[in-house]
Amino acid sequence: MNYKQFVDFVNSEFERLEITDWIAVKAERTYHRNSDYEAGACKMLVWFEPKNKQSNYPLKHYFMCDYFLKEYNEYLKNGWELYLGFRFRTMNILSNLEVRVRKY
């Protein structure tokens, strides 16, 4: 899976969760020190924007991922599946989304 396929996956999960007003547009890794990652810093950001934006404003909305794309690929290779869920019980706040892994 590459970054484009990862964004396509997030958009398909948006459809599954009936999030129709937003679209994922970019995924990128973060660049922190190893000690920051060990302390829990996010490893990737997924940027999203309204589908029907009226003006060309900068991307402001994102949610964080706990794994690098390479780590997600390892999970997929070992028979796990990815899915999108809410990090906290506060639903409908898209910044609370996270990409989770589970064993089929």
Q: What is the pLDDT of residues 9-26, one digit of tens each?
A: 999 999 998 888 889 999
Report the predicted TM-score, pTM, of the whole model to 2 decimal places: 0.83
User: Which stretches of the chain are DSSP H helices?
Assistant: 3-16, 34-38, 69-77
In which residue are the tokens 């660049």 written? 31
In which residue are the tokens 């940027």 written? 47
Q: What is the pLDDT of residues 33-56, one digit of tens each?
A: 888 878 877 889 898 888 877 656
Show me where the domains of the chain are located. Answer: 3-103
Tokens of 40: 């829990």
